[in-house]
Amino acid sequence: MGAPEIDELTQEFVAETREMLEGVGSHLLAWEGNPDDRATIDAVFRLVHTIKGSCGFVDQPRIGGLAHAAEEILAAARDGTRTPDRCLVNAMLRLIDHIAQLVEGIETGVIPDLATDEPLLAALDGAGSDEASIPEKVVAAPSTASSTIRVPVVLLETIMAQVSDLVLARNDLARRVRDDAEYTASLTPLTNVVGELRDSIGRARLQPIERLFRGLPRLVRDTAASLRKDVDLIIEGDDVEIDREMVEALKDPLTHIVRNSIDHGVEIDRSKVGKLQRATLHVAARQSGNQVTIAISDDGRGIDVTRLIEKASVLNIAPPLGDAANLIFEPGFSTAAQVSDVSGRGVGMDVVRSNIEGIGGSVSLDNRPGQGLTVLIRVPLTLSILTCLIVRAGGQRFAIPRAAIDKVVAIGSSSVRYEAIGDSHIASVRGTLLSVAPLATLLRLPEQTPTRLVIIETGGARFALPVDAALEHEELVARPLAPGAASRLFAGQSLSDDGQPLLLLDALGVAAAAGIARGERRTAAVLEPMAVRRPSALQFERLDGAVASVRASYVARIEDIARASFIAVGDENFVTIDGAMIPAIVEGALPDNGMVVTLRINTPDGPVAWPVAAVRDLVPIDSVTRVATLGYEGLILIDGQGVPLLEPAVPTNRRFAA
């Protein structure tokens, strides 16, 4: 009969208890030699108490009962009601040996008969009697080789780094002998062994994600009970393996999402909306390549987008990219009517996203109003190995974690435009305007003409990263930066397969350095102008609903400005920008509150602000049909339709020298 299969939690219990039992034996002998040593008896008591407590987690009442009996005797000895004589110590040692046999039996399946417990317990109670007579030598319980060992995580990290160095050394050797067929063939077995070794070390760090899901049943039960709701929990994919450190990093975000699903998602009286009163929360994990996806789905009310937008308007929060449901990730944002123990303080989902992106992952929403919400968490399989895109910017190579990349597009293709706007640049990809984070400028590297735009989507910001070239994808072993070299632009360092050092870009740090905020859709002025091959126009929708355009060369910046910054004095309008009051061209009704999309225009007579309803696209100017109307340069064709090309100017009653 083979050894029984035991779960990971029980394996840990066996390993930890075995270590503690060894400690108990040595402490008991020290206590026997010095009965007045309070520190020793306290140490024994703590170890036995820990063993007893651990038994409750792995359903081992027999071992727990024996440990409890030992704890009672030790408590009496600490109180001075039992004397730590040789008979008592011998009885304790015999009991410890017996517990060791029981622990060994969990792995081997060979467990001593229950009747063997009674004489040992009687010996404890009657130390000094014939039952507790002292043999000359305490015989340790026989043991078998354990199928597992405990290894410090830091040791695994060290081995992983050493294996990575071995890979690089092997690659360097392969380059040196690549022209010698005999040596190249000899390297093949080494290549295979090194690859298998790297995979084995990586697997040693993995553990079933069940460890992350273990506390969910109790969490769901307690949260639902506190909110007077009925919720069933369904867990799938708990056998998916994930890095041990990743499990620890995901505990808090997962807890918050589950609590939010029950609090905000599940209706109190579901019968009113035609649903079963008992809701269902589904948590599933799946692995795809080097990425793990965790989906948390409920069948509740979903997110009321209209309500979110109304709340965002009150808080002067700009709408985010894409689905307005992403407003829940804004700092300080909450739609809870009142503060409770579960929610309502405006602290939560923004931290969830920051924590997940901090480990190279992403979080997204699948909102089904009236039917439920799914929160998708995507994280790399391991924190130490990341799939990255290698790019070149400013003549140097960098690595970008693949999880932060939406797509890579070629500058100059029919669906992509990359143009100068004032003292900055703006990118238009398939009709969508994007902010630009100029990596070479941020790093003060020599600028070269970019050929690719890496579209980054992270932290609620979506922006374009112009690069000289996008090279290839590699799996890199991420290491922290050297002390003193920390920078918000970089997440770590690594070595590529050719042995060259690489810096890993921190997408959130790059966005912050470029002045791109979460939810921002437009560019910040951070790049020096470059020659524009064809003149372009910025197409927009005016406040009065009409569609118009203005030459891109006039536009210094496109930004969101709070409605409260605008002020009307008679027929004149002004706006406060960067601490200065400048004239504004208002061609319709400004919204009552919230943020207003504003073009900052440079004119021969000075700067002017031009609030608009929406920015549509960046379009090339092929030809201009001139008109005589004041304020209009002419008409241009956009998608076959004539669109006015405006000639911006400071209002005549407010002209001043630039």
- Do 399 and 413 fall into the same domain? yes
Are 566 and 590 a contacting pair, CB within 8 Å?
Answer: yes
Q: pLDDT grade, residue 398 (50/70/90)?
A: very high
Distance CA 248, CA 98 (A): 35
Residue type, 260: N
* H/E run at residue 43: helix 38-57
Q: What is the pLDDT of residue 141?
A: 40
In-domain check, residue 463: yes
Q: Is the pLDDT of residue 297 over 60?
A: yes
Please answer whether residues 537 and 648 qualify as being in contact, where contact means their C-beta atoms are separated by less than 8 angstroms.
no
Q: What is the pLDDT of residue 294?
A: 94
- Regarding whether 227 and 340 lie in a shared domain, the answer is yes
Residues 6+ apart with CB under 8 A from 292: 209, 240, 242, 246, 285, 286, 378, 379, 380, 381
**Contact 375/284 with Cβ under 8 angstroms?**
no
Q: Are strands 372-380 and 291-298 parallel, antiparallel or unpaired?
A: antiparallel
Distance CA 531, CA 206 (A): 52
CB 457 within 8 A of CB 404: yes
CA distance 165 to 140: 44
Mean pLDDT of 234-244: 87
Here the tokens at position 49 are 């108490």
Q: For residue 131, what pLDDT band results from cuts at 50, 70 and 90?
A: very low
Same domain, 344 and 457: no
Of the CA atoms within 13 Å of residue 462, those in its CB half-sphere come to 17
When mean pLDDT is compared across 148-157, 243-252, 381-390, 511-520, the lowest value belongs to 511-520
Backbone CA torsion sign across 119, 120, 123, 125: negative
Rounded-to-integer distance, Cα 279 and Cα 651, Å: 60
How much is the pLDDT for 257?
92
Q: What is the pLDDT of residues 159-192, one digit of tens each?
A: 877 877 787 777 778 777 777 777 777 788 887 8
Same domain as 195, residue 234? no
Average pLDDT over residues 562-579: 85
User: How far apart are alpha carbons 93 and 140 in whole angstroms?
Assistant: 9
Q: Helix or strand or coil: residue 241?
A: strand
Confidence band of 278 (pLDDT split at 50, 70, 90): very high
Sorting pLDDT into bands at 50, 70 and 90, what band is 597? confident
For residue 460, the model assigns a pLDDT of: 61
For residues 438 and 582, membership in a common domain is answered with no
Last residue of a domain, one of 513, 545, 572: 513
DSSP secondary-structure letter at 526?
-
- What's the pLDDT score for residue 137? 38
pLDDT at 285: 93
Asked if the structure places residue 646 within a domain, the reply is yes
Mean pLDDT score of the chain, rounded to an integer?
A: 77
Chosen domain end from 204, 226, 244: 204
Q: Is the pLDDT of residue 598 over 80?
A: yes
Q: Is residue 403 part of a domain?
A: yes
Q: What are phi and psi of 622, to 5 degrees?
A: -85, -40
- Give residue 485's pLDDT band: very low, low, confident or very high (50, 70, 90): low
Over residues 307-315, mean pLDDT: 72
Residue 146 scores a pLDDT above 90: no
Packed helices 86-108 and 8-33: angle between N→C axes, nearest 10 degrees? 160
pLDDT of residue 483: 53
Question: What's the pLDDT tens digit per position in 61-116?
Answer: 888 888 888 888 888 888 888 877 778 888 888 888 888 888 888 888 888 888 78
152 or 537: which carries more pLDDT confidence? 537
Q: What is the mean pLDDT of residues 604-633?
A: 81
Q: Which domain covers residue 421, as residue numbers? A: 385-513
Q: What is the mean pLDDT of residues 347-359?
A: 76
Q: Is the pLDDT of residue 382 over 60?
A: yes
Which pLDDT band, with edges at 50, 70 and 90, does 128 fall under? very low
Reference 379, options 315, 443, 289, 450; nearest CA is 289
Number of domains in the chain: 5
10's enclosing H/E stretch is: helix 8-33
| Residue 342 pLDDT greater than 70, yes or no | no
Please tell me whether residues 270 and 403 are part of one structural domain: no
Report H helices in 227-329: 244-260, 305-314
Among 144, 171, 204, the domain boundary falls at: 204
Evaluate if residue 451 carries a pLDDT over 90: no
Least confident interval from 121-130, 398-407, 563-572: 121-130
Give CA separation, 568 vs 504, 541, 557, 573, in Å.
49, 21, 22, 4
Q: How does residue 44 score in pLDDT terms, banded at 50, 70 and 90? A: confident
My answer on whether 456 and 553 are in the same domain is no
The answer to whether residue 98 sits within a structural domain is yes
Residue 375: pLDDT band by 50, 70, 90 thresholds?
Answer: very high
141 within some domain: no
Per-position b or e across 384-393, b if 16+ CB within 10 A of its CB: bbbbbbbbbb
Q: Are 377 and 251 in contact (CB under 8 A)?
A: no
Predicted local confidence at residue 130, as pLDDT = 45
Q: Are 453 and 438 in contact (CB under 8 A)?
A: no
Q: Does residue 453 contact residue 409 with C-beta atoms inside 8 Å? A: yes
Task: Establish if 137 belongs to a structural domain.
Answer: no
Q: What is the DSSP letter of 130?
A: G
Q: Label residues 481-509 b or e (16+ Cβ within 10 Å = b).
A: eeeeeeeebbbbbbbbeeeeebbbbbbbb
Backbone phi, then psi, for 405, in 5-degree steps?
-100, 130
Please state which of the ranges 282-291, 415-424, 612-621 shows the lowest mean pLDDT. 415-424
Mark 226-243 as b/e (b = at least 16 C-beta within 10 Å).
ebebebebebebbebbbb
pLDDT at 45 over 80: yes
Identify the three-state secondary structure at position 441: helix
Q: Tell me the average pLDDT across 470-498.
A: 71
At 258 the pLDDT is: 93
Q: Are residues 356 and 229 in the same domain?
A: yes
646 half-sphere exposure, CB direction, 13 A CA radius = 22
CATH (domain of 369): 3.30.565.10
Domain assignment present for residue 531? The answer is no
Same domain assignment for residues 435 and 502? yes
Instruction: State residue 603's pLDDT score.
Output: 78
Q: What is the pLDDT of residue 281?
A: 95
Q: Does one domain contain both 346 and 428?
A: no
Assigned domain for 280 exists: yes
Same domain, 256 and 375: yes
What's 19's domain CATH number? 1.20.120.160
pLDDT of residue 316: 63
Burial class from Cβ neighbours inside 10 Å (0-12, 13-18, 19+) for residue 268 reads exposed
Domain containing residue 582: CATH number: 2.40.50.180
pLDDT score for 591 = 84
Instruction: List, for residues 544-562, the tens digit of each pLDDT value.
Output: 888 888 888 788 777 778 8
**CA pair distance 178, 167, nearest whole angstrom:** 16
Same structural domain for residues 448 and 576? no
- Measured CA to CA, the distance from residue 438 to residue 460 in angstroms comes to 19
Q: Which one has a higher pLDDT value, 286 or 435? A: 286
Asked whether the predicted pLDDT for residue 487 surpasses 80, the reply is: no
C-alpha distances out from residue 655 to 151, 554, 608, 643, Å? 75, 17, 10, 27
